[in-house]
Amino acid sequence: MRTGIWLVLAVLAASPAAGQSMYGGAREMSPIPGTSLPDPGSSNVEQAIRNIDSQNPDARAQRLAYLDNLRIRREQAEQYAAAARKGVPLPANAAETLRHELEADIEQWRAEYKVSHKELQAMRDQWLVARESLTALQWAQHRVEWWSARDAWVASHRP
């Protein structure tokens, strides 16, 4: 059983999904200029993708890659937290890595929604607390909670 859990963590850590991984940091992916991105958890994602100008396949491919990256980052956060809650031993640098990944998540949110400096700073102040203030397990859960806060922010800022 323990071997299976280690295998799951090894796969999560080693997979460079959409240009990023839990241990390698996030590759910055810019939103597509002139387009608004739906929340990756919403049912409107496929409809929004269908609405993209079919004459511009490059923009469609970029948008799909961006949305896939968001989905993967969220899934990784949830899987890592679930494994940690089940008692899977975390690497020694897990707290630092998870804080770094949360910082990348927040930066991606800022770029996607063109968030004001004031709002960005408020989000950073709330979520990017000192690394030493949380254990690795707490950082894993904190990152999952941030995705929920992000969802709430997106829902409250929809036209």
Rounded to the nearest integer, the mean pLDDT of the chain is 76
What's the pLDDT band for 64 if we cut at 50, 70, 90? confident
Q: Determine contact, residues 136/97, Cβ cutoff 8 Å.
A: no
Q: Over the stretch 102-140, which tens digit does the pLDDT of each residue have?
A: 999 999 999 989 999 999 999 999 999 999 999 999 999
> If residue 143 lies in a helix (H) or strand (E), which one and from where to where?
helix 136-156
The dihedral formed by the CA atoms of 31, 36, 38 and 39, expressed in degrees to the nearest 10: 60
Residue 15 has what pLDDT?
A: 41
Give the Cα separation of 140 and 76 in Å (integer): 10
Q: What is the mean pLDDT of residues 92-108?
A: 95
What's the pLDDT band for 60 if we cut at 50, 70, 90? confident
Give the Cα separation of 97 and 157 in Å (integer): 30
Instruction: Give percent above pLDDT 70 in the chain.
Output: 65
Specify the range with the lowest mean pLDDT, choosing from 24-38, 54-68, 140-154.
24-38
Buried-exposed string 27-63: b where 16+ CB fall within 10 A, e elsewhere = eebebbeebebbbbeeeebeebeeebeeeeeeebebb
Neighbours of 14 (CB within 10 A): 11
Q: Is the per-residue pLDDT at 45 higher than 70?
A: no
Q: What is the mean pLDDT of residues 82-89?
A: 94
Residue 53 has what pLDDT?
A: 54
